[in-house]
Structure 1
Amino acid sequence: MANLESFIRSAEHGSFSEAGRRMSLTPAAVSRNVAMLERNLGVRLFHRSTRRLTLTEAGEAFRVGIAEKLDGIQAAIAEVATGGGEPAGTLKVSLPPSLGLTYILPLLPGLLARHPGIRPEWHFESRPVDLVAEGYDAAIGGGFELSPGVVARALAPAHIIAVASPGYMAGRVRPADPAGLRSLEGVVMRAPRTGRIRRWTMRDAAGQEMPVLLPESVVVNDPVAMREAALLGLGAAMLAVPDALPALESGQLIRLVPRWYADAGAISLYYASRTLVPRKTRVFVDWVTDAFGKQKLAERFAGSLM
């Protein structure tokens, strides 16, 4: 199995060195594994040069032949490699910057103390990734398309609330409902994928709904930038509760129209649904889910309960 994984990783990255980094092996060990696989198959799988590995015709045919089974093979290799025991290997995760840095990254020391064989490779990015195509073990966020073989475990509601800084609101009348937000300067976000200003409809506990018509006084393309602009007193903004919560708790931001919130779905943990989920992925999923429960983050992120 180690020989097969060495071939797969080397074919993916075109390098014994990069394959070795992913597998915590030396380039020489990866090269030996591939050479042993070639001897067992009786064919040469790679053209080797000082710059890059390229697949031979036989190597490409072999890669294509196992491509549809690749995820299952890699999951089985990960399971066998750990002997069903301690999880190990690179854990590639995609996280939204604010949520990831504030709530998920602090969980890492405890996870690594419990499972030292795991090597985190965490990407902080404001986009839905393709878990399978981009090689992620897991992702946290919202709005992901559930491609075949990917499941979502809901962690908390994704509620959006209206906020502003105390300095900005000084001397201004607080709006009584979402319609009143139009009287304020607005910090709004242009969605990078669509190029459109994101608009929201707010609701209250009684089920009433009302559109939010914030003026486009300041336009940004990132939710963290939107929060920072609100902290600078540039206007009111519609922020996800996790992004706003630390500033709300410290008093740097105040909530406007507190009975109202917009529902953007759920913050979920995404991972590939394989017959054999690698242990590194399974322990990460369980660790994060348990932390959300212990810290009552689902309740704290609910704009309807704040």
Structure 2
Amino acid sequence: MESLANLESFVKSAEFGGFSAAARRLGLTPAAVSRNVAMLERNMGVRLFHRSTRKLALTDEGERFLQAIGGSLEALQAAIAEASCEGEPAGMLKVSMSVTFGCDYILPRLADFMRQYPHIRPDYHFENRQVDLIAEGYDAAIGGGFELPLALQVRLLAPLHVVAVASPAYMQGRTTPVDPSDLAALDGIVLRSSRTGRINQRIMCNAAGEEMAALQPETLVFNDPAAMCRAAILGLGVALLAMPDVLPHLAQGTLVRLLPRWYADLGSISLYYPSKSMLPGKTRAFIDHVVELFRRERLAERFAGSLE
């Protein structure tokens, strides 16, 4: 029977295109990964990689072996991790989430999660982008405002509503806007999409079903919502930001909401994860933790920008 370490080293080297990248993912040295792969090749009696100083490429035999392994290695890893901890959820948990959302809502509850699941090792990635769960090796991600592949499993957590905010100091002496068209008269802190390079244009709506474009002057242009929020707090203009990003600042009074009955609906904040017939215990534990957090703290209700 081939060792799990040898198989892991082979699969990760194939996935990431080199021993060094595989070593970083596995927490080993490149030399150790190279030795494991060489031992696997020696035991099998075939060469699995073409090696050069510049890159690593699978041989035909390596391609066939990688396809034959399929998803069985991941299932085996999960089974070993859980069995070694007497059935408790265990292993490295790699999750992606936005910087502000993760720091404000998920990170403060991490201590409770770790006390409940001491054998899970969180590997949280704070990033404002949509990740490829399969290709990048994530167990789950939290995000919104984009379309998800049909192959993924999705749990809807809350509406993703964008609202207009500014600091009290900025609004002092200025006319309060009545509808989204009035934002044209105020300094705009706008978002440039990192994916398309274009300025994001928002259509706002209200409970009566009316819709109106929010055409802001491009006074300040940023590519990150956290920077936009900071600029708004500093009194530099009006920003259109997601409710989770501004809720703490609205509570503290460092920001005020303009146009309280208007919001832009960008869909839902979702927790998504690979579609698997046997979900690892660590991923199931994280899903349950996040769903319970939203239920207990009524986050779906608090994140809604709509007012009746």
Distance verdict in 2 for CA 1:174–1:134, change over 3 Å: same
Distance verdict in 2 for CA 1:80–1:32, change over 3 Å: farther
Q: CA deviation at 1:146?
A: 2.6
Aligned residue in 2 for 1:221: 223
Distance (whole Å) between structure 2 residues aligned to residue 80 and residue 26 of structure 1:
25
SS at 1:82's partner residue? helix
Distance (whole Å) between structure 2 residues aligned to residue 22 and residue 298 of structure 1:
35
SS at 2:95's partner residue? strand
- Structure-to-structure mapping, 1:20-39, within 5 angstroms: 22=25, 37-38=40-41
What residue ranges of structure 2 are gaps of 5+ in the alignment?
none
Distance verdict in 2 for CA 1:244–1:47, change over 3 Å: same
Q: CA deviation at 1:220?
A: 1.2
Distance (whole Å) between structure 2 residues aligned to residue 113 and residue 59 of structure 1:
45
1:172-209: CA deviation from partner (whole Å, max 9, x where unpaired): 12112222222211111111211211111111111121
Within the alignment, does 1:196 sit opposite 2:195 as a pair?
Answer: no
One-letter code of the match for 2:267?
G
Aligned residue in 2 for 1:11: 14
Distance (whole Å) between structure 2 residues aligned to residue 152 and residue 56 of structure 1:
34
TM-score (norm 2): 0.86
* Contact 2:50–2:59 (8 Å) recurs in 1: no
Aligned residue in 1 for 2:159: 157
Distance (whole Å) between structure 2 residues aligned to residue 29 and residue 189 of structure 1:
45
Distance verdict in 2 for CA 1:63–1:107, change over 3 Å: farther
One-letter code of the match for 2:306?
S
Aligned residue in 2 for 1:79: 78
Distance (whole Å) between structure 2 residues aligned to residue 248 and residue 294 of structure 1:
21
Q: CA deviation at 1:168?
A: 0.3
* Contact 2:162–2:240 (8 Å) recurs in 1: yes
SS at 1:151's partner residue? strand
Identify which of 240, 243, 249 aligns with 2:242. Answer: 240
Identify which of 118, 121, 133 aligns with 1:119. Answer: 121
- Structure-to-structure mapping, 1:78-97, within 5 angstroms: 78-83=77-82, 85-97=87-99
Distance (whole Å) between structure 1 residues aligned to residue 148 and residue 89 of structure 2:
26
1:211-237: CA deviation from partner (whole Å, max 9, x where unpaired): 112211111111111111111111111
One-letter code of the match for 2:264?
A
* Contact 1:22–1:90 (8 Å) recurs in 2: no
One-letter code of the match for 1:241?
M
Q: CA deviation at 1:64?
A: 4.3
TM-score (norm 1): 0.86
Distance (whole Å) between structure 2 residues aligned to residue 63 and residue 262 of structure 1:
50
* Residue identity (%): 57
One-letter code of the match for 2:276?
R
Q: Which moved more, 1:8-17 or 1:156-165?
A: 8-17
One-letter code of the match for 2:189?
V
